[in-house]
Copies of this chain bind each other. A is one copy, B any other.
Amino acid sequence: MRDVAARAGVSTKTVSRVFNDDPHVLPATRALVEQAMRDLNYVPNVLATTFRAGRASVIGVAVPDIVDPFFAAIARAIEDTARARGLSTMVTSLGDDPADERPAIESMLGRQLTGLVIAPVGTDHSWLQRWREHTPIVFVDRAPVDLETDTFTEADESGAYTAVEHLIARHGHRRIAYIGDIVHLSTETKRLEGWRRAQRAAGIEPDEALVQSHVSDRLAAAGALDRLRALPDPPTALFSANARSSMALAHVLRDDPVPFVGFGDFPMADTLAPSVTVIDQDPRRLGRLAAERIFSRLAGGAQDGDVFTVLDVRLVERESCRVGRRD
């Protein structure tokens, strides 16, 4: 910048002004500076600007796993929204272990981000309270534990209700298993509640023996199915509480289908045979809303307190809910 200033015969401040489109620069001066910038192909030092501003023009995104298309879609939507405002995006995959969450997130927060979007895996978020003074923090998909902050989730309870109610009312099932993964997540507890409520509404007392959790891969899915089938009164249909479990189940059920509805769409769900009936979420919308919330906070939208927004979901009926019954 100094070189540019020298070449144009002005001060560095004027160069700075030209760069920031400050109107208080004579057109002639501006042209001179711009020419000098071109000659030296000057690139402003973002690091210095950032340092001066005390804030990185970066939105942080912390999700369980960027390889999961659901979270990738959220990240992509945040990225697109951020880029439209000239910000970049920094991504972290948190992994499966709740204990790794805090250091991973704190290392992002230490960078003085413009904002942070979290889809958590942890069991406590009270430690985030002190960071909130510096950085807008928004939770997506999963609610925080022991912390109040902006949160965007999907209609977990009513979506699960819809799925289970569909199996009961439309397909006549009375024994419906619940297949889930990480029990402490708000998504899972809500969906389990929906599973219970749909049954009670139909006069069925939920049988906790039909609840299988920690189904995160195909092996676990096969194990869960074995346990269910060994029951004195085995289920005639399945409700899978998340896409990861659904994908594992779909594979295990490939040659021996069981009526089945999953929470969350996933790649090729509509191409499998049978195609999988799902509760469809909208991860892009989730990501966009989360990013926009950060910007509205920055613009002073903190006045209205924390928002807790629940997005609608809808049943996408395909084939898996009506495959021939077993037994």
In contact, B267 and A268 (Cβ under 8 angstroms): yes
Q: How far is the CA of A282 from the CA of B217 in the complex (A)?
A: 20
For residues 54 through 76 of chain A, which have their beta carbon under 8 Å from a beta carbon of chain B? 54-56, 58, 65-67, 69, 72-73, 75-76
Q: How far is the CB of A66 from chain B (nearest CB, A)?
A: 5
Interface segment, one of A39-47, A136-144, A149-157, A169-177: A39-47
The verdict on A48 contacting chain B, using a C-beta distance below 8 Å, is yes
The verdict on A251 contacting chain B, using a C-beta distance below 8 Å, is yes
Interface segment, one of A15-23, A103-111, A193-201, A227-235: A103-111
Q: How far is the CA of A232 from the CA of B72 in the complex (A)?
A: 43
Q: A47-B56, A65-B76, A272-B273 are in contact. List 14 more A-B contacts (CB 8 A).
A: A43-B110, A47-B51, A47-B54, A50-B51, A66-B79, A69-B267, A75-B91, A80-B93, A88-B108, A89-B92, A90-B90, A247-B267, A254-B273, A267-B268
Contact among B79, B107, B251, B271 with A93 in the assembled complex (CB-CB below 8 Å):
B79
Closest to A95 in B: B80
For residues 27 through 49 of chain A, which have their beta carbon under 8 Å from a beta carbon of chain B? 41, 43-48
The verdict on A216 contacting chain B, using a C-beta distance below 8 Å, is no
> What band does the interface of chain A fall in when counting residues whose beta carbon is under 8 Å from B?
35 or more
Q: How far is the CA of A56 from the CA of B112 in the complex (A)?
A: 13
In contact, B271 and A254 (Cβ under 8 angstroms): yes
Q: Knowing A72-B72, A89-B90, A91-B75, say if A112 contacts B267 (CB, 8 Å).
A: no
Q: Cβ of A92: which chain B residues have Cβ within 8 Å of it?
A: 79, 83, 88-89
In contact, B76 and A112 (Cβ under 8 angstroms): no
- Give the top 7 A-B pairs by smallest Cβ distance, nearest first: A51-B51, A273-B273, A268-B268, A267-B267, A67-B72, A251-B271, A91-B91
In contact, B268 and A247 (Cβ under 8 angstroms): yes
Q: Cβ of A66: which chain B residues have Cβ within 8 Å of it?
A: 66, 72, 75-76, 79, 91
For residues 269 through 286 of chain A, which have their beta carbon under 8 Å from a beta carbon of chain B? 269-273
The verdict on A266 contacting chain B, using a C-beta distance below 8 Å, is yes
Closest to A79 in B: B93
In contact, A88 and B112 (Cβ under 8 angstroms): no
Q: Knowing A250-B268, A273-B272, say if A91 contacts B67 (CB, 8 Å).
A: no
Q: Cβ of A24: which chain B residues have Cβ within 8 Å of it?
A: none
The verdict on A130 contacting chain B, using a C-beta distance below 8 Å, is yes
Q: Knowing A110-B46, A271-B254, say if A91 contacts B89 (CB, 8 Å).
A: yes
Closest to A45 in B: B112
Contact among B45, B69, B268 with A67 in the assembled complex (CB-CB below 8 Å):
B69
